Structure 1
Amino acid sequence: MDKITKKINAGSENSSPPGFQVRNILFVSAPYHLPGLKVDIHPSAWEITHAVSMEEAAELLRKKTFDLLFIEIEALDDSTGITVQHLKSLCSGLQVIFLVQPGCCKIQPLEREAGHIFIWSGTPELFQAMVRFVEDQRCKDITRRAVLLVEDSLEYTSFLLPEIYKGIDAAFPGAGLVLAGSHETAMERFRELGQRLDCVLSDTRLPFQGKEAPEAGIDILSTIHREMPGLPIMLMSAESANKKMAQGISVPFLDKNGNQLDRDLHEFFHSLASDRPAQGSPPHAKDPYPVQISPAGFTRIGRGSIGGKARGLAFLAQTLDRRPDLGTAYPEMAVNIPEALVFCTDIFDDFIRDNGLAELTDRPLTELVQAFIDAPLPREVLRHLKTYLAANSVPLVVRSSSLLEDAVNHPCAGLHKTYMIPNNHADPDMRLSHLATAVKLVYASAYYKKAQAFVRSTTVHPFRDSMAVMIQEVAGSQYGDFFYPAISGTAHSLNFYPAANAKADEGVLNLALGLGRTLAQGEQSFRVFPEHPQATPQFSSTRDFLENTQNSFYALRMAGYPDTLRFGMCSNLERRDLAQAIEEAPVKTLTSTYLPVEDRIRDTWYCKGPKILTFAQVLKYGTPPLTALVNDLMKALAHDAGGPIELEFTADIPEKSGDPWNVSLVQVRPMFSPRDTSLITKKDLDEAVCVSTSALGNCTLDTIRDIVYVNPETFEGSKTSDMAQQISRINADLAKNNRRFLLAGPGRWGSSDPWLGIPVDWQQISGAGAIVEIRDGTIHADASKGSHFFNTITSQGVPYITVNPGAADRIDLEHLTGCRTVRDEGFIRHMRLKRPLLIKVDGKHSRSVIINAGKADNHIQAE
């Protein structure tokens, strides 16, 4: 990327408040997080040391003095006996901040007393604001002016902190921030600060004398307004009715439920800044989106976060740097990470705000998408894109990298769009138009209903996802008019569906010819266990190979495409039949031939007969030993991440015989992993109406009374899309009353192929508390295993239960069919039990039972 950054001046500005300054930070977190954090805050004035446990943190504190200790809540472990108080005793004056991911707030009272708590999704703005806040608390300058924030909500305090610091810099340069969480504390701070106060912002509902007082904020601001009538003040509330109270005391009102909370706060401070004498140009006026080479080696533009997907690349790069042998142990292959250009989240935020796009959330999809296409990108961004395209004329992929994407707690995938462009048009302006359109369409996908539904289920207001974008070269080669890699693959270091001699912790690979859309959509691929690459338990006969192997693939068209491309159809990709590429090198290399006379398969392309995609050269003969390489990579990455991972990669055939295959590592993310075990007893097995030996998740649920299931008596394989719509309607009604339900039916849930299962998306089943996939022969499809839909479901903690009716597995909902239903949509029935089911999932042993807890008197009641 040097060729890009040499043409663009990078820069950064750092301002530090007077008094105490943080220099040495100890950061305790899962090891997966640190590389991305370093990229997000690079360059910084801080030296950050990482510890993966409280024990390691204690060892480091005995050897070195630190100013500030960050602890991710997930890193706390009571079993070690090392408390936060013990860590503070090892370093005098050590300040502590606890970090909690959005939607995962688990704070003990003792921890509240030991340090400050913030909810952090990884944004550098909040990280910098938290450090600055600690510096403000330690500042001893008794003449320093201040802004007082009165707020007791962790969510709003965390959201408001960086926005208020931006306002302070604009309206009250040099001032500090003081935080109060109750009526009493606010009045104490007001008395202490007196004439040094520049501004006060207060919530309405606050603790007072240990109890919640609905009008505490009104009392605070009324007193301040009476004693200091010229002081700027603002009332905030999540209850819009309180605006009348603000009008009653003649103060501005900030609606905390507003869609543009940050914009409204910015306008408040801007109005205060406009009353002050001009003090020169605002910071960053010349270069709002500076360009920098990150520590991970890719180029980032902007000051915001690189997002979750790019953090995964940073982690991947760190592992390869630490383990260079992974790239040299197999000379038959050359391992690389495709170069990336990352537009940080601040560019997305500016684009949305400047074009008023956040207000379009409820518009029809076509209208929403067109509004994003019509909206102009910032002028500086277009300049960066032109510079990039001047140095790159290869096919490009534009990928999302949102804040919540690939997080450890919620490793979601596939929520946002990915677009590929040929980038070879004769007109440079047309190439720029294609790339700019792809960026804006990725931005638009953050506002799709399924993405918004996921964010709502993962976070709490006021948090919302923000989007970074990665632009990378597409890995692959050109064959005629098409571009694609020989192999796209996903590797999971934990296998929830082991078979034959495979074990769960040995992992699993899914391989496909062509671009990775086949895998992302859960279409037909080739499943293999890396420790047993020659075993194919899913194919017990030659007939299985003929009927169930991949017979089509995705490729990017490089010639004969329209000037507007095909952004609305498969993200510019085309599905090609295997027969259309029969003479192309990947097909020749990876296919075998079926000999009808002998009813057997020969592992060669060079004989007459139907071709079958078996990957035999790679899997059976190890030319190259791709499975061995990926297996080593999985183990190294899982070790460094501190838990199971998912790796996406491509492998491409060299142009010249004897040259190494090109293996590109495209993405890595944490996998959902069950921790504790839910015990299933023999009595449970005996009483269960459903038993599964292939269950994903780990929980005991005893609150689900609603069952939504595919009626086997009316099922039609050609009507699965209609079934998806019926489920969506029932889901919407149940969501209004916050009722979780059990979803059950045949085939792959979330399949992009309606003949392989019910093609629902996350939004359509967002209220599902547990999902059952029934493999009873109604639909002939392998169990779900690694599609983006599947990963999203499991990342939400929704147990996914696969039932293979037979000796061990069983399901019997027939005793409920005679009861009165709440709703019958024809293909889908919704039933409600008087007493809830008991659902137990043992993630360690992949077992699950569903027990009819009210068997004696359980009956369906319509409400």
Structure 2
Amino acid sequence: MPFKVKEILLVANLYDAYCIEREGKFSEQISSEYHQLNLTSMPRVTGVSTLEETMEQLHSKHFDMIILMVGVDKKTPINLSEKIKNIFPYISIFLLLNNDADIALFEEQRAELTSVDKLFVWNGESQVFFAMIKSLEDKVNVENDTKIGLSRVILLVEDSAKYYSRYMPLLYQSVLAQTQRIIRDVSTDEQYKILRLRGRPKILLASNYEEAMNIYYSYREFLLCLISDVKFKKDGILNEDAGINLVQEIKAEYPNLPVILQSADVSNAAYAFKLKCSFINKNSETLRHDIRLFIRQFLGFGDFIYKDADGNEIATAKSLKEFEEYLYHIPAESLLYHAKKNHFSLWLMARGEIRVAKMIAPYNITDFKSAEDVRDYLINVIQNYRNEKNKGKVVEFNSDQVFNSNNIVTLSTGSLGGKGRGLAFINSILFNLDLSRYVADINIKAPMTAVIGVDEYVSFLDRNDLLDRTKDVLDYREIQQMFLASELTQRLVQKIRILLMNFDQPLAIRSSGLFEDSLLQPVAGVFQTYLLPNNHPDLNKRVKQVTDAVKLVYASIFSEESRANVQASNYKIEEEKMAVVVQEVVGNKYDKTFYPHISGVAQSYNYYPFGHMKPDEGYAVIAVGLGKYVVDGEKAFRFSPVFPTIENNTPKDQFKNSQVEFYAVDLDKQDIDLLEGETAGLIRLDIDEAELHGNLKHCASVYNAINDTINPGLDSVGPRIVNFANILKYNYIPLAKTIEVVLDIVKEAMGSPIEIEFAVDLKKDKSGKSSFYLLQIKPLIGNIDSYHVDMNEVDKDRLMMVSETSMGNGLVEDVVDVIYVVPELFQKDMTIEVASIVSTINEKMRYQNKRYVLIGPGRWGTRDRWIGIPVKWNDISSAKLIVETSLEDYPLEASSGSHFFHNVTSMNIGYCSIFHHSDTSLVDYELLERQELIAEYGAVRHVRFRKGLTIKMDGRKRLAVVTWNG
């Protein structure tokens, strides 16, 4: 019997496990792959999260493979692997990294990691798991399958986990596609198909010269092709020419063997040419495409077949949907033919539909009065199973389905992207956890949502040749025009048309990049989101508006800001792929506008606690109207969900910083020009308009300037303060408690600090409940507890900066530059000028690959020029530490909930606050003035420390110290 991985133990936190399940799709995808490779079995994945659960499972049953997911915590998986290997040395252990940044750390320790059999890197797509499973099976089965089944062998020689984690899924996809083509029209004998499938090429991985030659000597007569790196170990030493030597050795015996040499050094292309090999640049923007192209040139399941009583084919079902559809119409004799032979349950079991298969398997046709009773039973079981299974899940689009918020509908195949994964996770939580147990007096929901998977994006770029056409185009408007002129698939356009027949509210068309808002690789606010009124009387116009918005979301990957972010993240444009979320906007219609009563952002970690507050209790920021006002960092209301009645500002300060405007969808804009940007479908209104609509009743109070007091409600005359007093102080709805509960549950499930975006509809339903809508969740990454700073050990004579209100963690020693705003030269009206100057300097620093410390007044990244410096992420992308300072009559507002702030934290860039009245925090401006002046532009100076700076950040203490080196 060939070795098969039947039982997998997956050790991961809850959120990693959920992402691995890929929104309920992972099992289906693996099931589909296994249906092609083996019509009777597929592996079962058992998920655990702790050491105790792991050992309990290992002692209770046999596992063929263990996958340890490595997230923020690097040590625990290694320690766990050693404990497992000591007790169960025969079980293969694979480490799966969740972040490219960790590869170097683990590869340096590879020789010492004897308890780990192989290291892989997850890129957000489930194909890597299939590759891991098949690589283990191939390693065990290759000897038997080459001797008995004459299987061919593909030899991959690569020592980088990053690259073989990319290559192997591509290789397996290509092999499977080729195998499908081979067997598609061959015998209808299922056993014959199985034999042909088992004879598929095996893929073997070697990491050094000796391993490669050993595989070659063992299977050279079966070798199909060789794919080799150039630089890897030979005789235990890293050898610059190991790959060339390997190819020469093999080519001497098999000169016509197809070979790829792949290297980051393009000069090796000359060697490949001499050796008559293909060459691939590992830094190519089209690496995946190049690999696929080679495989297609040199490499070269099932369906349910309904039959009549004589074995004649009458219909073919390629999916469970088709399987169910044919059940309504096939003749009774066909139904009985398959039921007698147990074909239905066997096929469903092979597809991984185990639950429904087990419901059907125990019954015989003798248990039913007639064939029609059998038919009714099968249809009812499948319908009930599908409906139950789809709750809280991601389901494929079906033109006949009823659209509601019970599940998320996919309009295209492929990954849902980071934001889409988060939405699917929300949906899963809402329908698998009874949140009403924790907060009984409010509905917790998600809006109706559909997602266009990344495969449409890949197809869109390929069919319209956009990667090549945009490669040298720097004008973003020109790129947008090119995308608008290109065509989406008609299949998607038709699905959007049907969707719009069911979605009659304004729509948000949101980006969902593969790494956007995803755990350990989060990027927020870099790509576009468009809000559409969706009220044009002509359905064709509405379809065009949505498809144009989708195209412009795709185009936003190629914006200047996105390119800068990709460069800062050490990714390539080709690696980022875009899914698109189509989501109904939460809210109600008021005259010619549409908006929610409240929108907000909440984080589970509060970097600015005061009074009784603790950092891990989190905070929230809310405003009237659409959430753009909040995420843009404008004057919204900040509070602690645990202590919602505590205020840190005087009534006068609250009045000065109260919300005065809000965003709404403009229903008058039936025809909109999306090239105007994200606000094309919006209108910005004075807060008085919300009062006229009756929406400030529970959201505002009146400020009495004479007594410097605030009176809750709107019964008295005077200036309005949007402080949500009736909600937060007098609990009109349990908003604070809801946020506290949701943050706690989602944080626990994701295994990291998180941020949520939400909207609130105060209108009460028949049961007297208002509704809280979860719109997005995203992780907040930034290791906050591993680096320790002791002020007693800091040389006070070398201090450049100290902050006791900071975030970030670790030691930085490669910074020599400081860009700062001179307090004496700064004026409140020059913030836009300062932002432009900083952006220019940042571009130079980015080009020189240098990092720097950035110091300036007010909130960095705000859209409000009067409270800080309105930079975007790409304007400061090379900063390693950002310092915000307060000045007299220029108070420092907490940076709260903005996409800018999220990107800073997720990339572990230090962020500090210095209050001018503080006795313990400081910036030594006199020291800065004595340093080498590199450039000076108005109030902005760029100076350089000859021997550099040392930056120490203690995330747990929220302490940051910068000293100059002597």
Equivalent position of 2:101 in the other structure: 103
Equivalent position of 2:174 in the other structure: 167
- Per-residue deviation at 1:650? 1.0
- Per-residue deviation at 1:790? 0.8
Query: Which residue among 60, 63, 67 is the counterpart of 2:60?
Result: 63
Task: Work out whether 1:28 is the aligned partner of 2:11.
Answer: yes
Equivalent position of 2:338 in the other structure: none
Partners of 1:379 and 1:564 lie apart in 2 by 23
Task: Work out whether 1:626 is the aligned partner of 2:735.
Answer: yes
Equivalent position of 1:421 in the other structure: 532
Partners of 1:387 and 1:239 lie apart in 2 by 50
Partners of 2:572 and 2:161 lie apart in 1 by 11
Equivalent position of 1:857 in the other structure: none
Q: Which moved more, 1:485-494 or 1:250-259?
A: 250-259
Q: Which has the higher contact order (CA 8 A, sep 6+)?
A: 1
Equivalent position of 2:203 in the other structure: 177
Equivalent position of 2:929 in the other structure: 817
- Structure 1 pair 379–93 and aligned structure 2 pair: CA distance change class (3 A): farther
Partners of 1:214 and 1:329 lie apart in 2 by 61
Q: Secondary structure at the match of 1:478?
A: strand
CA contact (8 A) 1:27 1:70 kept: yes
Query: Which residue among 908, 930, 938 is the counterpart of 1:797?
Result: 908
CA contact (8 A) 2:932 2:945 kept: no
TM-score, normalised relative to structure 2? 0.81
Query: Which residue among 783, 794, 801 is the counterpart of 2:894?
Result: 783
Query: Which residue among 295, 299, 302 is the counterpart of 2:409?
Result: 299
- Per-residue deviation at 1:632? 1.7
Equivalent position of 2:568 in the other structure: 457
Partners of 2:77 and 2:588 lie apart in 1 by 52
After TM superposition, the structure 1 = structure 2 runs for residues 16-165 of structure 1, keeping only pairs within 5 Å, are 19-38=2-21, 39=23, 40-43=25-28, 44-45=30-31, 46-74=43-71, 78=75, 82-91=79-88, 93-100=90-97, 101-105=99-103, 106-107=105-106, 108-109=109-110, 110-111=112-113, 114-139=116-141, 140-142=144-146, 143-165=150-172
Partners of 1:183 and 1:204 lie apart in 2 by 10
Q: Secondary structure at the match of 2:697?
A: helix
Q: Secondary structure at the match of 1:676?
A: coil
Equivalent position of 1:191 in the other structure: 217
Q: Which moved more, 1:669-678 or 1:615-624?
A: 669-678
Identity of aligned residues (%): 31
Give the counterpart letter for 1:31 in structure 2: L
Query: Which residue among 305, 311, 323 is the counterpart of 2:421?
Result: 311
Give the counterpart letter for 1:196 in structure 2: F
Equivalent position of 2:397 in the other structure: none
- Per-residue deviation at 1:321? 4.2
Task: Work out whether 1:549 is the aligned partner of 2:658.
Answer: yes
Equivalent position of 2:818 in the other structure: 707
Partners of 1:841 and 1:535 lie apart in 2 by 29
- Structure 1 pair 494–136 and aligned structure 2 pair: CA distance change class (3 A): same
- Structure 1 pair 619–760 and aligned structure 2 pair: CA distance change class (3 A): same
Equivalent position of 2:358 in the other structure: none
Task: Work out whether 1:611 is the aligned partner of 2:608.
Answer: no
Query: Which residue among 824, 834, 837 is the counterpart of 2:946?
Result: 834
Task: Work out whether 1:323 is the aligned partner of 2:433.
Answer: yes
Q: Secondary structure at the match of 2:479?
A: helix
CA contact (8 A) 1:62 1:90 kept: no
- Per-residue deviation at 1:357? 2.2
Q: Which moved more, 1:551-560 or 1:300-309?
A: 300-309
- Structure 1 pair 810–252 and aligned structure 2 pair: CA distance change class (3 A): closer
Partners of 1:263 and 1:661 lie apart in 2 by 50
CA contact (8 A) 1:256 1:462 kept: no
Partners of 2:254 and 2:765 lie apart in 1 by 80
- Structure 1 pair 237–698 and aligned structure 2 pair: CA distance change class (3 A): closer
* Structure 1, gaps ≥5 residues long: 1-17, 277-283, 855-863
Equivalent position of 1:584 in the other structure: 693
CA contact (8 A) 1:155 1:462 kept: no
More helix by share: 2
Partners of 2:612 and 2:514 lie apart in 1 by 39
Give the counterpart letter for 1:831 in structure 2: V
The count of aligned residue pairs is 824
Q: Which moved more, 1:630-639 or 1:407-416?
A: 407-416
- Structure 1 pair 223–340 and aligned structure 2 pair: CA distance change class (3 A): same
Equivalent position of 1:742 in the other structure: 853
- Structure 1 pair 65–338 and aligned structure 2 pair: CA distance change class (3 A): farther
- Per-residue deviation at 1:736? 3.4
Partners of 1:301 and 1:134 lie apart in 2 by 34
Equivalent position of 2:36 in the other structure: none
CA contact (8 A) 1:171 1:269 kept: no
Equivalent position of 1:532 in the other structure: 643
Partners of 2:159 and 2:274 lie apart in 1 by 23
Q: Secondary structure at the match of 1:160?
A: helix
CA contact (8 A) 1:299 1:342 kept: yes
Equivalent position of 1:389 in the other structure: 500
Partners of 2:891 and 2:75 lie apart in 1 by 47
- Structure 1 pair 605–462 and aligned structure 2 pair: CA distance change class (3 A): closer
Q: Secondary structure at the match of 2:610?
A: coil
Q: Which moved more, 1:364-373 or 1:171-180?
A: 171-180
CA contact (8 A) 1:755 1:779 kept: no
Q: Secondary structure at the match of 2:518?
A: coil
Q: Which moved more, 1:583-592 or 1:419-428?
A: 583-592
Partners of 2:243 and 2:576 lie apart in 1 by 29
- Structure 1 pair 726–596 and aligned structure 2 pair: CA distance change class (3 A): closer
Give a deviation string over 1:372-415, Cα, whole Å, max 9, x none. Answer: 22221122222221222222222211222222222332433212
Partners of 1:680 and 1:812 lie apart in 2 by 20
Equivalent position of 1:202 in the other structure: 228
Instruction: Decide which structure has the larger Cα Rg and report it.
Output: 2
Partners of 1:127 and 1:375 lie apart in 2 by 34
Partners of 1:517 and 1:693 lie apart in 2 by 30
Partners of 2:113 and 2:494 lie apart in 1 by 48
- Aligned-residue RMSD, C-alpha: 2.8
Partners of 1:131 and 1:363 lie apart in 2 by 43
- Per-residue deviation at 1:258? 1.8
- Per-residue deviation at 1:507? 1.5
Give the counterpart letter for 1:137 in structure 2: K
Partners of 1:505 and 1:685 lie apart in 2 by 31
CA contact (8 A) 2:81 2:115 kept: no
CA contact (8 A) 2:549 2:674 kept: no
Equivalent position of 2:268 in the other structure: 242
After TM superposition, the structure 1 = structure 2 runs for residues 636-715 of structure 1, keeping only pairs within 5 Å, are 636-654=745-763, 659-672=768-781, 673-682=783-792, 684=794, 686-687=796-797, 688-715=799-826
- Per-residue deviation at 1:742? 0.8
- Per-residue deviation at 1:81? 9.1
Partners of 1:683 and 1:205 lie apart in 2 by 44
Query: Which residue among 483, 490, 500 is the counterpart of 2:611?
Result: 500
Partners of 1:345 and 1:777 lie apart in 2 by 50
Q: Secondary structure at the match of 1:32?
A: helix
Equivalent position of 1:522 in the other structure: 633
Equivalent position of 1:366 in the other structure: 477
* Structure 2, gaps ≥5 residues long: 32-42, 183-199, 301-315, 323-385, 395-406
Q: Secondary structure at the match of 2:726?
A: helix
Task: Work out whether 1:350 is the aligned partner of 2:459.
Answer: yes
Equivalent position of 1:227 in the other structure: 253
Give the counterpart letter for 2:923 in structure 1: I
Give the counterpart letter for 1:848 in structure 2: A
Give the counterpart letter for 1:239 in structure 2: D
Give the counterpart letter for 1:601 in structure 2: I
Q: Which moved more, 1:616-625 or 1:604-613?
A: 604-613
Give a deviation string over 1:125-164, Cα, whole Å, max 9, x none. Answer: 2222222222212223233211111222222211211222
Partners of 1:183 and 1:323 lie apart in 2 by 52
- Structure 1 pair 209–463 and aligned structure 2 pair: CA distance change class (3 A): farther
CA contact (8 A) 1:749 1:773 kept: yes
- Per-residue deviation at 1:226? 3.4
Partners of 1:171 and 1:220 lie apart in 2 by 28
CA contact (8 A) 2:85 2:115 kept: no
